[in-house]
Amino acid sequence: MPTKPILTKQEKLDKLGNQEIDYHQPLVGAETKERLYAKFNECFDPMRLKIIMLQKGLANPFGKNPDYFFVKGLDYLNAREVELAIKCFEKGVHDKSTHLLCRFNLGYTLFKVGHFQAAVGHYETLVTQCFELNIHPHRFFPSVLYNKTVCEL
C-alpha cells in the first residue's frame, strides 16, 4: 500500500488556497482595485471558520495616534480600499508595536486577502505580547488565539 506524502506547512497552506500577493505594490486604476477587493472576498472559503475583526468602539482616536490609524483603516475597509487599510494598520503598528487593535486588524486584513503567513506572524506577536509580556487585557486572549488558529489551518 503506497504511503501518503507528508506535506509541509507551506504546502498545506497552498492546498487551502494560500495566495501570495504583494500588498505593498501601488494600485493602478479601478480595475486593479476591484481585483484586489475580489481577492479580499474570494480567498476565504465559506466553509471555513470566520475570522474575528475588532470593532471601532474599542478605540479612542484623539489626534494622529495608533487608534486614529485603526479607525481610519476600518473606514478604508468599509470603503473597499484594502491597500489603504493595510497601510493605516501598518502605520499604527509602526508607531506603537504593542498596539493591539492595529496589529489584530492588520492580521485580519492580511488573512482576508490571502496573505496567511503574514497574518500568522502578527497573531504570533500578539500571543507573545498577551501571554509573555502581559501587555493586553485578558479579554482579548481568546480572540487572538482563535484568529491565530484559523490562520494556521
Cα 140 to the center of its chain, rounded Å = 15
| Residue 3 included in any domain | no
| Residue 73 included in any domain | yes
| Residue 18 included in any domain | no
| Residue 119 included in any domain | yes
Closest residue by Cα to residue 120 from 129, 128, 111: 111
Q: Where residue 79 sits, what CATH number does that domain have?
A: 1.25.40.10
| Residue 33 included in any domain | yes
* pLDDT tens figures, 50-100: 778 877 877 887 778 899 999 999 999 989 899 999 999 999 999 999 999
* pLDDT tens figures, 6-34: 776 556 555 544 444 444 444 455 556 56
| Residue 14 included in any domain | no
| Residue 7 included in any domain | no
Distance CA 109, CA 114 (A): 9
| Residue 9 included in any domain | no
- pTM comes to 0.66
Domain residues for 83? 27-152
The grid cell for 116 is 496567511
Q: How many domains, the chain? A: 1
